[in-house]
Amino acid sequence: MVPKHMFLNHPLNRRDFLKASAGVAATATLTGAEPESPTTEPIIDIHQHTNYAGRTDEQLVKHQRAMGISKTILLPAGTPVERPSTHMGKSNGLAAKCGGNQSCLELARQHPKEFLFGANEVADLPSGREEIKKYLKLGAIIIAEQKFSVECDSEAIENLARVAQDYGVPVLMHFQHATYNMGIERFHKILAKFPKVNFIGHAQTWWGNIDAKHDQKVMYPTTKVTPGGITDRLLADYPNMYGDMSAGSGLNSMLRDEDHARGFLDRHQDKLLYGSDCNDVIGRGPGCQGAQTLAAIRRLAPNPKAIRKIFYENAARLMKIG
C-alpha cells in the first residue's frame, strides 16, 4: 500500500497521481454514472485492507462488489509499536491506519464467500513469528503486508521466510527505497536461499525497477522504460518471484509506457497478480484506482487467457484458493 506520510519523497503524491492518470486510464466503463455490471470473469483481489484511511468495513464490502471482485484477500498491519522498524510508530497501521490481524479475521468470517485474510507482524519484533503462526493456524493464506523499515535480506526477513516455508504460504513485500524493505538489488539472495518460498513484490521501488535506468529516489517515474530492470530480471530468473499489480505504483508501471507494458504483461503473464490496494469508497470512476487497474490490464494484456491468469488463476494457484 502507498501512504501519504513524511517518509515519501516523490514529485507526485497519491492524489495528484490519480488525477494525472485518470484521463489516460478512464474508459466508458469507468466514467459512467452507473457502476459496472458484474463481470462473469472471476477476479481475486490479493491486496486490500480493513479501516484503510478510516474506511468502514461496510464501505469496503460495497467497494469490492462494485468492482466485480470474486474474492478479496485482506492484508493486516502489525502490532503498533515504537521502534526503528516502524519509524518510531509513524508507520504503524501500514502508515495508513489499516487494521490488524484480528480485524481482517473477523471481516473474513463475516463474509466467508467473499473475503480471505493474511497474517502479519512487525518484521523484527521478537514475538512476531508466534503472532503470525497464530493466524496462519486460524486460516491465513499469506504473510502480508510486510512494510517495515528493515533490509530486505536481513535476518528478520529470513525468519519470516522460514515461517512461510513451514506453512506453505507466500510473503508479500512492500519495496520502497530508503523506507521499507531496503536494498532491492540484494533481494535475489533471499530468493536463492529460500527457493520453496514464493515472494510477491509490490510498491514504488518494485515497480520503478522495471526500468534498467531507474533512479531509486524517484517513486513514480514518468519516462519511457528501458527494459531489463531489477524487477524484470527477478520475475524472469526466479520461479518463486511474483508481482502485485496494485496501488498507484502498479498502475503507473503500465501507464508510463504502454508499449513496454504490453510486452511486460505478455512475458510475465504467469507471474503477475491483480490487486487493488485502493482506499476509495465507490468502486468505480476515475477516482477508483482499483477499477483503473482492472481497465488497464484488460486493455494492455495480450489476450483473454492472459487476463484470466492475472485476474484469477495465478493467485488461485499460488494461495491454493478453490
Each residue of 214-272: pLDDT tens digit?
999 999 999 999 999 999 999 999 999 999 999 999 999 999 999 999 999 999 999 99
Note the pLDDT of residue 1: 55
| 217-232: pLDDT as tens digits | 999 999 999 999 999 9
Confidence check: pLDDT of 139 > 50:
yes
Could you tell me the strand order of the sheet in which 115-117 lies? 44-48, 71-74, 115-117
Confidence check: pLDDT of 9 > 70:
no
DSSP 138: T
Note the pLDDT of residue 222: 97
Within a 10 A sphere around the Cβ of 137, how many other Cβ atoms?
Answer: 10
Query: Is residue 141 a contact partner of residue 116, using CB atoms and an 8 Å limit?
Result: yes
Is the preceding omega at residue 145 within 30 degrees of 0, hence cis? yes
Q: What is the mean pLDDT of the chain?
A: 90
Query: Is residue 183 a contact partner of residue 197, using CB atoms and an 8 Å limit?
Result: no
Within a 10 A sphere around the Cβ of 127, how many other Cβ atoms?
Answer: 10
Q: In this structure, what are the phi and psi dihedrals at residue 47, rounded to the nearest 5 degrees? A: -145, 90
296-302 mean pLDDT: 98
Kindly state the cell numbers that stand for 68. Answer: 466485480
Confidence check: pLDDT of 300 > 70:
yes
DSSP H or E stretch at residue 242:
strand 241-244
Total number of residues shown for the chain: 322
Note the pLDDT of residue 39: 53
Query: Is residue 187 a contact partner of residue 203, using CB atoms and an 8 Å limit?
Result: no
Cα–Cα distance measured from residue 195 to residue 25, given in angstroms and rounded to the nearest whole number:
37
| 76-102: pLDDT as tens digits | 999 999 999 999 999 999 999 999 999
Confidence check: pLDDT of 17 > 60:
no
Rounded-to-5 percentages of helix, strand, coil across the chain = 45, 10, 45
Note the pLDDT of residue 278: 97
| 170-209: pLDDT as tens digits | 999 999 999 999 999 999 999 999 999 999 999 999 999 9
CA nearest 283: which of 272, 271, 295?
A: 295
Query: Is residue 241 a contact partner of residue 7, using CB atoms and an 8 Å limit?
Result: no
Note the pLDDT of residue 322: 83
Confidence check: pLDDT of 28 > 60:
no
Cα 151 to chain centroid, rounded: 19
Please report which confidence band the pLDDT of residue 153 belongs to, taking 50, 70 and 90 as the band edges.
very high
Kindly state the cell numbers that stand for 44. Answer: 481475486
Burial of 316 per CB tally in 10 Å (0-12, 13-18, 19+): middle
What domains can be seen in the chain, in order of their start residue?
38-318 (3.20.20.140)
CA nearest 17: which of 35, 2, 37, 32?
A: 2
Cα–Cα distance measured from residue 293 to residue 252, given in angstroms and rounded to the nearest whole number:
9
| 37-66: pLDDT as tens digits | 345 789 999 999 999 999 999 999 999 999
Cα 178 to chain centroid, rounded: 19
pTM (predicted TM-score): 0.89
CA nearest 78: which of 89, 90, 93?
A: 93
Please report which confidence band the pLDDT of residue 113 belongs to, taking 50, 70 and 90 as the band edges.
very high
Note the pLDDT of residue 98: 98
